[in-house]
Amino acid sequence: MLNNLRPGKIPADMPDDCFEEFDSCDTVACIRAALLELVAEVVPLCADRTLPGRLSEGGFHFAFNIAEGTGRRCREAVPAAVCELMGIPYSASDPLTLGLTLDKAMARRVVGSEVRVPGAVLVQREADFAALENLCYPVIVKPNDEGSSKGIRDNPIADDPAGARSRCERLLRHYGCPSLVEEFIEGIEVTVGILGNTPQERVLGVMEIEPVTRGARFVYSLEVKRDWRKCVTYHVPPRLDAGTVTMIEETAIRAFRLLGCRDFARIDFRLDRSGTLFFLECNALPGLDPANSDIVFLSANALNYRQLVQGILVEAARREAPSTP
Ligand SMILES: Nc1ncnc2c1ncn2[C@@H]1O[C@H](COP(=O)(O)OP(=O)(O)OP(=O)(O)O)[C@@H](O)[C@H]1O
Ligand SMILES: [Mg+2]
């Protein structure tokens, strides 16, 4: 099992969410326990510079990949790319999709051909600030190539171009990455879990995230995710009519296919007041923390934790060896 463990200590010069996407020892242990019901041995391997050496020692037949990787916007693709290099089959999406989905602007370009995305500007350099004038405000400013709500803290919303600019400058200082400035969609937030492979992928569940404190500007921020028991109520299925739920499911599958996802993924959307659905982002390697991860919550009516983890392995194994029943 390829993973990156969350270090115990955060360096003094780094933001406190710098390791947010990494996994805890507990999560690794729970996944390992689930996998051991299906296979004889599971060895956790750290997806750092030692990985190619460890894999070359031999004896590894398959990689269950939950590694977020280290480095810049391609980081999530690297452990999967190492597996390809070593000829070891692995679970979840391939490097192209993992790189594409971690870069929110890239993912929007691909999905945007068929699925509605909010108006946005990618700010990479000084000259990009001018385009902020063209957006409808308010906007949300997020790091373009981060996940786990890193950098999306208590106040990511700006009401004018100057506010958006100062948030972009802050993100560049703290996270060193470009910012995606996106028109803020007020309305219901849903996240959709998908398991399987095209053309037989299926929706595991659609989950509505309802804020406990009502207000037009709810953001499912890092603070909310860390304190979800107090801040949100989850609804599976969402409190929406059947037709809307079907439309959300079909749109999620379309996005999954457009992005070339494999085995499983979680896709976030917002539904505005007029019922238009907007794609926010796709998590091709969503967290599998048994106590805190959205994909675990949204699939709970259909699968318990072990069944979810085992389902991912079974889908990956079937894909790698299509003749296996
Ligand atoms: N355009 C938008 N309009 C309204 N809210 C938004 C928009 N973009 C993001 N958000 C809010 O910010 C949250 C985090 O954004 P997003 O899902 O893009 O980031 P993330 O860090 O990749 O999240 P994850 O934890 O799912 O990996 C969303 O769940 C949503 O509440
Ligand atoms: Mg998200």
Instruction: Mention every residue, 6+ apart, whose C-beta is less than 8 A from residue 168.
Output: 123, 129, 141, 179, 181
Q: Which amino acid is at 256?
A: F
> Which is the closest atom of ligand 1 to the Cα of 182?
1
The pLDDT of residue 154 is 62
Nearest CA to ligand 1 atom 9: 280
Instruction: Write out pLDDT tens, residues 62-97.
Output: 999 999 988 888 999 999 999 999 999 999 999 999
Give the binding-site residues of ligand 1, using a 6 Å CB cut-off: 118, 140, 142, 146-150, 152, 182, 184-185, 189, 219-220, 268, 270, 280-281, 283
**Beta bridge pairs of residue 282:** 267
The pLDDT of residue 22 is 81
How would you class 121 by CB atoms within 10 Å of its CB: exposed for 0-12, middle for 13-18, buried for 19 or more?
A: buried
Q: Which amino acid is at 43?
A: V
Ranges of the chain with pLDDT below 70: 17, 147-151, 153-154, 322-325
Alpha-carbon span 110 to 91, nearest angstrom? 23
How far is CA 67 from its chain centroid?
A: 12
Give the side-chain half-sphere CA count within 13 A for 232.
Answer: 24
Phi/psi for 165 (5° steps) reads: -60, -45
Report the separation in Å between the CA atom of 146 and the middle of ligand 2, taken as the mean of its atom positions: 10
Q: Which amino acid is at 233?
A: T
Alpha-carbon span 237 to 245, nearest angstrom? 8
Say if CB 139 and CB 184 are below 8 A apart.
Answer: yes
Q: Which amino acid is at 20?
A: E
Alpha-carbon span 106 to 98, nearest angstrom? 11
DSSP 1-15: -EE-BPPSS--TTS-
Say if CB 186 and CB 273 are below 8 A apart.
Answer: yes
Say if CB 151 and CB 174 are below 8 A apart.
Answer: yes
Over 16-73, what HEC string results? Answer: CCCCCCCECHHHHHHHHHHHCCCCCCCCCEECCCCHHHHHHCCCCCCECECCCCCCCC
Alpha-carbon span 201 to 223, nearest angstrom? 32
- Sheet with 157-158: list strands edge to edge: 120-123, 179-183, 139-143, 157-158
Report the separation in Å between the CA atom of 77 and the middle of ligand 1, taken as the mean of its atom positions: 21
Lookup: tokens for 198:
């095209």
The pLDDT of residue 272 is 96
CB atoms within 10 A of CB 2: 26
- Match 């509605």 to its residue by tokens: 116
Residues with CB under 5 A from ligand 2 (ion): 268
